Every structure is written in structure tokens, then in C-alpha cells.
Amino acid sequence: MILSNIETIPGRTVVKHLGLVNGSTVRAKHAGRDIMASLKNIFGGELKGYTELLQESREEAISRMVEQAESIGANAVVNVRFSTSSIAAGAAELFAYGTAVVLE
């Protein structure tokens, strides 16, 4: 599965466009991490726990989008976009979407 966030896959020809596919997930870190994060909020710096949380979730969102694309017979997703929103304190929703295509 090839992903790109431009209209095409460079060097390949798209033979079929299969429309919108998307993947999303909601994740939470456990309370201990939440407490550490609120401490970090005092001193500043990277919230490692949350970086990890968002990264994991984003990967899951991508894999769900890829699953959708595969299920309709695509072998690439172009024009991929991400959106992140916080749904509850300490929980993040990650969303990935793009257009499934069949490459030559």
C-alpha cells in the first residue's frame, strides 16, 4: 500500500479512482500519564506520553484507512490528510482520510 499526500504517486499511473476512504480512532492514556503531563504543564517541555499517544493513534488511524482501501481493491491512497481533535481531557481522536486508487 502506497500513501501520498499529493494527487498522484510519482512515477506511477492511476488507472482507477475509488473515492473517499477514512480511518479513525480514539485513545486515552492512563491516569498516571495524565498526572505527569499536568506536572509538565508547569515546567514546560515535551509531553512524551502524549506524543506517544498521538503517534500510536495516528498509526492506528492510518492502518484502518488502509484496511478500508484494501477492502475495496485499492493498492494506494493519495491525497492523505490528517486531523486531530481532543475529545475529552487526556483522550485524543485521530483521523486520516484520502482517496483510494488503483495503480497500474
Write out the residues near other proteins by the rule CB under 8 A.
7, 14-31, 33-34, 60, 64, 67-68, 71-73, 78-79, 81, 83, 85-91, 93, 95, 97-99
Q: State in angstroms the smallest separation of the CB of 43 from other proteins.
A: 23
CA nearest to 14, candidates 77, 89, 91, 96: 77
Q: Which is nearer to other proteins, 21 or 47 (CB)?
A: 21
At 31, give phi and psi (nearest 5°).
-55, -35
Q: State in angstroms the smallest separation of the CB of 45 from other proteins.
A: 21
Distance CA 11, CA 66 (A): 21
Cell numbers representing residue 101 in the block: 486508487
Q: What single letter denotes the amino acid at residue 53? A: L
Q: Which is nearer to other proteins, 46 or 104 (CB)?
A: 104
Q: State in angstroms the smallest separation of the CB of 41 from other proteins.
A: 15
